[in-house]
Chains A and B, each alone.
Chain A
Amino acid sequence: QKEVEQNSGPLSVPEGAIASLNCTYSDRGSQSFFWYRQYSGKSPELIMFIYSNGDKEDGRFTAQLNKASQYVSLLIRDSQPSDSATYLCAVKTSYDKVIFGPGTSLSVIP
């Protein structure tokens, strides 16, 4: 089992819809969870972080964490074509190493 797994995608949603991105992790002692967005040819940029169970909202983005299920998700409301990118889930493990998932490619169709 890989340490961090994501839906492989690609995920296509119409403009204005909700995009849902999922991530699972194997280290039960992990404390910190991050979502990065990467545009083609660019380096990843942090868009959300979450440390506690539950939901965290920032504008159109909501991160959800369920430590018991070892599951993290990112919801993007009112998706825009500019949201088209690869989304990387990252987990900081109990031994302080940052592990990235393989990424999910999102395409928002106008």
Chain B
Amino acid sequence: DGGITQSPKYLFRKEGQNVTLSCEQNLNHDAMYWYRQDPGQGLRLIYYSQIVNDFQKGDIAEGYSVSREKKESFPLTVTSAQKNPTAFYLCASSTNRANTEAFFGQGTRLTVV
């Protein structure tokens, strides 16, 4: 079945460690997005990519990094520079055509211990 897969579902990180969240899609979508969501808050855009080998910073990119080497994959690394990384992370993808929606993965809940 086509869709977006995020892994892991739950992730625990010690302070000072980098961690990488996986996002894979088999929908043949050009665009992919990473969002962060804190409790009771809306989605905040971290990074987005509209084409392979290109990506743009969103509203809260500091402390995060991404790569887009393949169309299907858009991993997000939460670095030690991100001071408050505990949050729910959502990956989404979309075509670059009008009148098509964004699809979401199931999310990764990251907790710093």
**Choice from B41, B45, B101, B106 contacting A34 with Cβ under 8 Å:** B101
Distance (whole angstroms) from the CB of A20 to the closest CB of chain B: 19
| Contact status B99-A32, CB under 8 Å | yes
Q: Does A44 contact B (CB under 8 A)?
A: yes
How far apart sit A20 and B78, CA to CA, in the bound complex (Å)?
A: 38
Query: Of A32, A49, A97, which contacts B31 at CB under 8 A?
Result: A97
User: Which chain A positions have C-beta within 8 A of B98?
Assistant: 31-32, 51, 92, 96
Q: Is the CB of B100 within 8 A of A92?
A: yes
Q: Which parts of B16-34 form the interface with A (CB within 8 Å)?
A: 31, 33
CB proximity of B89 to chain A, nearest CB, Å:
10
Residue B48 at the chain A interface, CB threshold 8 Å: yes
| Interface range, B side | 20 to 34
Interface residue A98 (Cβ < 8 Å from any Cβ of B): yes
Closest CB in chain A relative to B88 CB, distance in Å: 7
Tell me whether A69 is interfacial, beta carbon within 8 Å: no
Measured between beta carbons, the chain B residues less than 8 angstroms from A49 are 99, 101
Interface size on A (CB < 8 Å)? 23
Chain B nearest CB from A81 CB (Å) reads 19
B33 touches A98 (CB 8 A): yes
Chain A residues with Cβ under 8 A from B35's Cβ? 100
Whether B50 lies near A96 (C-beta < 8 A) is yes
Interface flags for B88-101 (1: CB within 8 Å of A; 0: not) read: 10101010111111
A110 is an interface residue with CB less than 8 A from chain B: no
Residues of A within 8 Å of B2, CB to CB, are none
B105 at the interface (CB under 8 A from A): yes
| Chain B stretch 42-93: residues in CB contact (< 8 A) with chain A | 42-43, 45, 48, 50, 88, 90, 92
Chain B residues proximal to chain A, CB less than 8 Å: 31, 33, 35, 40-43, 45, 48, 50, 88, 90, 92, 94, 96-107
